[in-house]
Structures are given as C-alpha cells and as structure tokens.
Structure 1
Amino acid sequence: MKKIALILVIVGALNWGGIGVFGVDLLGNVFGGTYEIVSRMMYFAVGIAGIYLSFTFGQIINNNS
C-alpha cells in the first residue's frame, strides 16, 4: 500500500512541477482534460495518497533506517 501511495505522490509532484515550470497539466492532458471524471479521480487518488503518507511518514522513516 505504501509503495502505491508513494508512486501516486510522485506522479502528483511531477504534475505540479509540470504546471509550475511549463504551465502544462500532465494528468489533465493524459486523461482528457482537467475536469474530466478520470482526471478528477486521479487527482483524488493522489490527494488520498498524500494524506495517507503524511500519517505514516514516521513509520516509513523508522523502517528505512
């Protein structure tokens, strides 16, 4: 579960980086537009993954050291 959440958070970070640097919403472009249902589900999944990782961050740090 943590690996999937980490991948989703990385995808979200790359998407925000693309928006900040190039003005391009990568997820929106891939899934047909920012407000399409599939894009919105991906944004939601990235957000949930971020929340999940924020609550498990201490466990991740302690397990990897």
Structure 2
Amino acid sequence: MKIINLLSVLLILIGALNWGLVGIIKLNIVEALFKKDSIISRIIYSLIGIAGLYTILYLIL
C-alpha cells in the first residue's frame, strides 16, 4: 500500500508542477513531450486525476 501512496504523491507533484508552468510561462510539459491530444497525454492526465481522487479518499478515510 505504501507504493501506491508514493506513486500517487509523485503523480500529484508532476501535475502541480505542470499546472504551475502553464500558469507562469504557458508551458505544458505533457504536451511538449507528447502531442497535444495524443492517447499518451490523455493517459497521463487520467492517471494524475485518479491519483488526486485516491489521495482525497486516503486523507478522508
């Protein structure tokens, strides 16, 4: 279970850094590494969202 928590925190940090860069210098790292609407970028965004939901549930329970 500890590995899932660590992975979740890592994905949340990646998402937070990405949004910070988007807000500050309009640079989206995920879109820079992969094409804008590619399946890989959608998977990355989905995993970050799932990690956020998991962390919310983890903190509540």
Q: Which TM class, normalised by the smaller chain length?
A: 0.7 to 0.9
Residue segments in structure 1 that go unaligned for 5+ positions in a row: 60-65
Paired residue total: 58
Cα offsets for 1:16-59 (capped at 9, x unmatched): 0010001011111112x221110110000000000000111256
Normalising by structure 2, we get a TM-score of 0.87
**Could you tell me how far apart the structure 2 residues matched to 1:48 and 1:14 are?**
17
Please tell me the residue identity of whatever aligns with 1:42: I
What is the percentage of aligned positions where both structures have the same residue?
Answer: 31
Question: How far apart in 2 are the matches of 1:53 and 1:34?
Answer: 27
Unaligned runs of 5+ in 2: none
Which has more radius of gyration?
1
Cα RMSD (Å) of the superposition?
Answer: 1.1
Match of 1:14 in 2: 17
TM-score (norm: length of structure 1): 0.82
